[in-house]
Amino acid sequence: MAKAAAVHFTCAECGYSTGRWLGRCPSCGSFGTLAEEAPLAANGQAEARPLLRLAEVEVEDAERIATGVPELDRVLGGGLVPASLVLVGGEPGVGKSTLLLMALAAISRDRRALLVTGEESTAQVKLRAARLGGAEQVEILAETNLEAVCATLERERPDVCVIDSVQTLYSADVGSAPGSVGQVREAAARLLRVGKQSGVALFLVGHVTKDGSVAGPRVLEHLVDCVLQFEGDRYHAHRVLRAAKNRFGSTNELGVFEMTGTGLQGVPDPSAIFGRSAGEVGAAVACALEGTRPLLLEIQALVSPTDLAMPRRVGTGVDPKRLAMIVAVLSRHAGIALGSADVFVNVAGGVRIDEPGADLAVALAIASAARGAPVRAGTAAFGEIGLTGRLRPATQAERRAQECAKLGLAAVLVPAGTKARAKVSLVEADTLRRAISAGLEEAPSKAA
Ligand code: TYD
Ligand code: MG
């Protein structure tokens, strides 16, 4: 008897696949995320194919499509490659639909641009388009049936098509529910085929979860040509677009936007965002790593005298133990007395940092608040603080320094011995005490 194609279960978080159902995924440890998937089709017999040498492969130097959003073109590596497949991930509300509708509006001026919406009605899209302006020529299809979407793409062959979102597409051939790993993977695989055959460049919108993974669509990352991540907090105006993967360009490029009443505005000089705090007492810019990617964050501190026997150390976005340690090292080794002061630290933008590379900037913000002296203008900091008051090099120094350079900062305060090639001046210090004297402006004299 031929062995029946086995049913298998796939984890919606990490894509781990197993032959039996489990309550907890052994790979990522999530609970209740394993779902049954339809068995994979058995491999049929196929004929051998002729081979080519690379020298014989013909390449058409395809002209890139300008999206009309310069920050998006930059992250894509100089525009959209025709017939490519781009996954755009981001949390709900970050502005994915807005960004892509703006791109479609600009593209529709001289090419065919189609929006397939599964999340919003055509009327909702029209209202949004009215706010953004210029989207009259964009074609629209409200459809969640995968077969219908593919058939339409084959017939209409638009130059660019946005699928908003890939999680809403549904194919009756796949047993599982819309949004499941099986559905999302099937949708992407079929769209990839149709897109390449019909010459349609596709943007797939994918929602990500709070912890930053593209839920479900994570399994698509190897399939698509580019993975763009759109990040930012819906309560704050700034958004950052990055390429996590790009087959046609570098992944170091970064696009910065500001959400306004009329859509997303590119921020050509992003240091302006961080420069706002320049000269403010109690603020420092950290270059922290989020996963493997560097991110510039503003750290704010307030030091206020108290009569409490146990002064308060309150951190928002920083680990309380780490904060207590930094306060102790500042008092003991850097001559910043904090024994009778409450210390409050906040990471601006509602971000959490949980890596020691941000220590130095946290210490600098507290020292600045305690001394009443601002951090030098255009200066960021990264580095780990040891219990003896020495600074230890942080991991991935070069990427961090390059991020500072990219965002237009002039100098970075780093632990002595940090090696990094970047267009930014590295100010080295071996101890926290020296870092503070190098990083802070002179305090205004009390007598004046
Ligand atoms: P949206 O693009 O719908 O986010 P996503 O597709 O990632 O879920 O919109 C994000 C937010 O932006 C939404 O809450 C409303 C706001 N917004 C503006 O502030 N200005 C605008 O011009 C538009 C269109 C949206
Ligand atoms: Mg949306």
How many Cβ atoms from other residues are within 10 Å of residue 150's Cβ?
Answer: 19
Q: What is the pLDDT of residue 97?
A: 95
Q: Which residue owns the Cα nearest ligand 1 atom 18? A: 261
Q: CATH topology of 64-268 equal to that of 272-439?
A: no
Q: Which two tokens stand for residue 352?
A: 């959490």
Q: Which two tokens stand for residue 62?
A: 């395809």
Q: Which residue owns the Cα nearest ligand 1 atom 25? A: 263
pLDDT greater than 60 at residue 359: yes
Domain boundaries, the chain: 7-39, 64-268, 272-439
Q: What is the pLDDT of residue 362?
A: 96
Among candidate residues 447, 429, 430, the one with its CA nearest the CA of residue 439 = 429
More confident: 3 or 389:
389
Q: What is the pLDDT of residue 354?
A: 75
Pocket test for ligand 1, best of 166, 238, 259, 265 (most atoms within 8 A of CB): 259
Question: What does the pLDDT look like over 40-60, one tens digit per residue?
Answer: 555 567 888 889 888 888 776
Q: Which residue owns the Cα nearest ligand 1 atom 9? A: 95
Distance 64 CA to ligand 1 centre (A): 27
Q: Which two tokens stand for residue 391?
A: 């600074």
Please name the residues in contact with 415: beta carbons below 8 A apart, sequence gap of 6 or more.
Answer: 360, 383, 384, 391, 392, 393, 394, 428, 429, 430
Architecture of the domain made up of 272-439: 2-Layer Sandwich (3.30)
> Was domain 64-268 assigned CATH 3.40.50.300?
yes
Distance 441 CA to ligand 2 centre (A): 45
Q: 261 by DSSP, 3-state: which?
A: coil
Question: What does the pLDDT look like over 95-123, one tens digit per residue?
Answer: 999 999 999 999 999 999 999 999 999 99
What is the average pLDDT score of the chain? 86
CB of 95 shorter than 6 A to ligand 1: yes
Distance 246 CA to ligand 1 centre (A): 25
pTM for the whole structure:
0.70
User: What confidence category does residue 222 fall into, taking pLDDT thresholds of 50, 70 and 90?
Assistant: confident
Q: What's the mean pLDDT in 326-345? A: 95
DSSP code, position 317:
S
pLDDT greater than 80 at residue 447: no
pLDDT greater than 90 at residue 337: yes
Among candidate residues 141, 67, 64, the one with its CA nearest the CA of residue 107 = 67
pLDDT greater than 60 at residue 1: no
User: What confidence category does residue 291 fall into, taking pLDDT thresholds of 50, 70 and 90?
Assistant: low
Q: What is the pLDDT of residue 233?
A: 65
